[in-house]
Amino acid sequence: MSTLFPIPEGIGAAASTRVSNELGADNPRSARIVVFTALLIALLESVTVGAALFFSRHVFGYVFSNDKEVIDYVTNRAPLLSFFLPYLVVLKSGIARGSGWQDLGAYINLAAYYLCGIPVAVVLGFWVKMRGKGLWIGLQAGSFLQVLLLSAITSCIDWHKQARKARDRLLESDVETQAQISGD
């Protein structure tokens, strides 16, 4: 899984920086365009990587080991990893950071994984005896809920209001900086 995340993490970090810069510059329309552009790039990248992983699942296991058991395990789990939900979570979390609602993103993360993903993983993995496959499905269930909630919030953002909030935080920060400089 960690071999697949560097590109989406980079897209999420770039989106976070661009969204916060655009909001701070009082460009709410540009911030919205950045969100849609980053989402499009992330979707294309996710579909490409997911398809490559799915179609190379019979040889991907050789990256880790020559052991037949490891190769079979990777081959069986690759279709679950091919879904692009965890990659969208990284992007949507970056947008949440850039929009200034990290607290809401944290609550969604906690709810999605601790109230949905982990219970589904435990039930499927241990009670239904799906083992590792059940654990991966639980992870995907948490990712699905997180993407769903973050997407709903992102689609409801009042970008002009977010730009005003960013400008207010910036002005507040400037006043504090000036007070520190004059007090020293």
User: What's the pLDDT score for residue 184?
Assistant: 57
Question: Are the CB atoms for 150 and 108 separated by under 8 Å?
Answer: yes
Residue 167 lies in a domain: no
How many distinct structural domains can be found in the chain? 1
Q: Which of 118, 89, 123, 121 is nearest to 106 (CA)?
A: 89
Per-residue pLDDT of the chain (184 residues), as tens digits, is: 666 778 888 888 899 899 989 988 889 999 999 989 988 998 888 888 888 888 998 898 898 889 999 888 888 888 877 776 666 777 788 888 888 888 888 899 899 999 999 999 999 999 999 988 899 899 889 988 998 998 888 888 888 888 888 888 777 776 666 667 776 5
Distance CA 1, CA 59 (A): 16
Residue 38 lies in a domain: yes
Residue 165 lies in a domain: no
Residue 92 host element (H or E): helix 85-99
- Burial (CB < 10 A; 0-12, 13-18, 19+), residue 176, is exposed
Residue 107 lies in a domain: yes
Q: Quote the domain boundaries for residue 113.
A: 2-159
Residue 55 lies in a domain: yes
